[in-house]
Amino acid sequence: MSDGHLWFSVASRPTRSHFTRVQRASCCLSLVFLTMITNAMFYRTDDSLRQQVYRLGPFVFTPSQLWISAVSTLIVFPVNFVIVYVFTKSRPNPVKIKHPSTGSLYKIPSSASKVHRDRIKRQHDKTRKQSGLPHWCVYIGWVLVFLSATGSAFFVILYSMEWGAEKSGEWLTSILLSIFQSVLIVQPLKVLLLGLLIAFIFKKIGKAEMMDADALNGDEEFLPKPMDAEDVRPPAKPVSCRASDDRQLAAARALRLKEARMRTILWDVFKHFLVVAVVFYLAFSSSATVGHHMHKSLKQRFPTFKKIDSVDKLWSWSNTELLGVLFTQNGSKLLDDQSYRVGAAAFKQFRSRPGDCTTNITTFPRCKLDYTMAQHEEGDFAVGWRPLPEADANATRCRRRCTNDTAWDFTEGKSLPYFGQVKTYVDGAYMFEIGNDPDPAASVMERLQKREWLDGFTEAVVVEINAYNANADLFAVITLMVEFVAGRGTTPTRNIHIFKLSSYVGTSGQLMVGFQITFVVLFVLSLFREGKKMFHQRRTYFCQPWNCLEFLRLLICVVAIVLFSVKEGLRSSYVSQLKALEGGYLSFRIIAAFSDVFASVLAILVFVMTLQFLQLLSFNRAIGVLFHTLRKATNKIAAFLSMLCVVFIAFSTSGGLLFGGEADGYINILTSARTLLVMMFGDTTFKDMSADHLVIFRIYFLSFVIAVVMILANMFLGILDEQFATSKNNPNGPGGDSDMGEFMVDRVLQYFGIGTRSVRPRENKETYEEQDTAEHLQELEGKLDLVLKKINSL
């Protein structure tokens, strides 16, 4: 693939190949121009034929474009193959002469031994096998490249004068498809077929295409190896000199390994930074980064909603503020300065069933049963909530649906449940739509108010509005809920979900496609790498925390890809349904929920990949000490967290039991835990407490501060401080590449000419002292043996 693939070989050709990069790039240029003119020949000037259009993100193509691109690729391939063949089979420049296989690597000028050089040349000329085309055929290849490029460009200009913008765009699409087919299909198939042909038919690969790296110039020759070279020995060095050389060699080797490790770390950091950059772009492009301003603007459109405390005020708010927001500027759909209403708004009511309530004191003939997901009212009624006569029930339902008067009929829902502060409500409800005309909407509300559409069995009322901001390309689902609790009190809840419906809009959409393809490729490579590592390490793979974090990242990537696919499918389905309704009501809460979950998954993925930078930065000694501290203090921290959880649960449950009846922050155990967490950071309020519980709350607050904030928090800091001091004072504590940070800084300073000191890795002093002592003793022993020999000779 590095030599036979025309496009890839421009950057990865073999160094011994005489088919240069300039020639390969020129062949690519010729291929592009020939593809342009071939595609242009298939396009006629008439536009009478209309075909099915297919869309792949921002790309639009037709079956004829696919056919034209495939045929053009097949037509261009033989011409391009001939040009490549001429360049490939032309022999290299005969100025350089190859040496025989028995020659040495030593070179001397030709004046040193002319006779020897002539003998080698004659022997080489006899043994060399001539193959391929003559060298002057290279010029034929250049002429073919020039004619194919200039001729194609000239005729393309002539063809383009007859086209318009639409046909030119289709032509460009066909060119891109042809080039992709050449890169991904034709060239790999060519390499595969040629490889099979050579392997099974010719049984060997020709060597004429490769040049020898040890070729001689015209004024050089090989120096023969001396006959007595094997008998020559260098003089022996003293032991002390050899020991010194060994130490220097060991230090140089360690320095070289340190530099190689530094390059590996920097390359890993760069690769991870590239992946993080791709994920960051996808995350911030998919999320509603400017949704805060739209949320704030829409929230200000309902200033008095939180003040609703009765049914009468709810009707008053609906007739004034709600209709004023839905029909601003003479009945237009503009909710604020830039957000438009999409479809009709829905006014829904959730009702409880009537039943007989028996108590120890007396029996009530008619009361309201508790609303649950399985037990709620879902029947059809006449006006005033009277039962429908069985005789004309079906006729009444048909007449209401034809006149769009369905407020007394139960409408099944297909969306998610509504989550309120008090209860959870199914999507099915009694509802009516508020369309594009303000007068019918006002008359319907007035008529329903007179006929007591909201009565004692009403559990909750929901107003749902869909909005779209074209400037920011953001959708919004506005849910205004009023729950009626015991004693007919109200609990208003306002939820505004901002999300992006379409991911491919304009130039940013095309960039999104490119980044998504890059993300998938990087994910597949990471999956293959981790799978290979997991196969070799087996169970020990999950013993490393960083491996577990990488495995978690891959799982999150899989979830993100699945959620994105589901979200795109829902988007296409919802847009089709909205067009079919022609201004009717359609709930977008499902796709809004999927968008929120998808944004949350991307946020978790960004969080995990940002944490992985700590692993790559572990060469810093401070970070290495921190990791060593956490690793050594794991048991102590686990015991501390167990005790903290027990104390926290105790305070949460007691707070819910003491103040849950009157304080919003202590309604249940979860809200109590959240309030206590905020209290740990100093945010404390007494405004929800009555005078009866104020003293008890102060005692409760003081106990929590003493037990958690003062004692447990300082205990945790003490555990970390003790272990951190131990790890910092231990020179072998961090381990790994903890000294690589200083090494990198010194290398950078030396690169800019600032640092002058020699940078060497840390050496073990005691080991070198022991080695020096042993070497000196060995040298002394040799000298004593020499003295004894001299004495014996005397």
Closest CA to 182 of 72, 292, 288: 72
Q: Locate tokens 């686990």: which residue? A: 638
Q: What are phi and psi of 609, to 5 degrees?
A: -70, -30
Give the N- to C-terminal CA distance of the chain in Å, as an integer. Answer: 77
Token pair recorded at residue 439: 């007068």
Q: At what angle do helices 694-704 and 634-659 cross, to 10 degrees?
A: 180
In this prediction, residue 236 carries a pLDDT of 55
Using left for φ > 0, alpha for ψ between -120 and 50, and beta otherwise, residue 362 falls in beta
Cβ atoms of 585 and 343 within 8 Å: the answer is yes
d(CA 697, CA 715): 25
In this prediction, residue 108 carries a pLDDT of 42
d(CA 321, CA 105): 94
Closest CA to 735 of 660, 654, 627: 627
In this prediction, residue 559 carries a pLDDT of 92
Task: Write the burial class of residue 625 (CB in 10 Å: 0-12 exposed, 13-18 middle, 19+ buried).
Answer: buried
d(CA 499, CA 578): 17
Our CA dihedral for 287, 292, 294, 300, rounded to 10 degrees, sits at 150
What is the model's pTM? 0.61
In order, the DSSP letters of 267-291 are HHHHHHHHHHHHHHHHHHHHS-TTH
d(CA 73, CA 77): 6
Mean pLDDT, 10 residues at a time, over the chain (794 residues)?
73 75 87 83 56 56 73 82 85 58 42 50 52 80 88 83 73 75 73 74 50 52 54 54 70 85 83 86 78 84 86 87 75 68 89 77 72 85 81 54 68 87 88 84 87 87 89 87 80 88 73 84 88 86 84 91 88 86 86 89 90 74 75 85 88 83 76 82 64 74 84 86 78 57 77 59 51 74 83 84
- Residue 20 identity (one-letter amino acid): T
In order, the DSSP letters of 404-457 are T--TTSEE---SPPEE-SS-EE-S-EEEEEE-S-HHHHHHHHHHHHHTTSS-TT
Q: Which helix (H) or strand (E) holds 621?
A: helix 621-632
In this prediction, residue 104 carries a pLDDT of 41
Token pair recorded at residue 246: 């060994």
- Residue 159 identity (one-letter amino acid): Y
Q: Which residues contact 431 (CB under 8 A, 6 or more apart)?
A: 346, 347, 348, 349, 406, 407, 411
User: What count of residues does the chain have?
Assistant: 794
Cβ atoms of 619 and 742 within 8 Å: the answer is no
- Residue 108 identity (one-letter amino acid): I
Chain centroid offset of residue 358 CA: 60
Cβ atoms of 86 and 133 within 8 Å: the answer is yes
**How distant, in Å, are the alpha carbons of 99, 301, 391, 458 from that of 490?**
98, 21, 39, 11
Beta bridge partners of residue 477, listed in sequence order: 466, 497
Beta bridge partners of residue 381, listed in sequence order: 387
In this prediction, residue 332 carries a pLDDT of 54
Closest CA to 30 of 68, 86, 111: 86
d(CA 127, CA 784): 61
d(CA 667, CA 657): 9
Q: At what angle do helices 239-286 and 740-751 cross, to 10 degrees?
A: 90
Cβ atoms of 177 and 71 within 8 Å: the answer is no
In order, the DSSP letters of 587-611 are --HHHHHHHHHHHHHHHHHHHHHHH
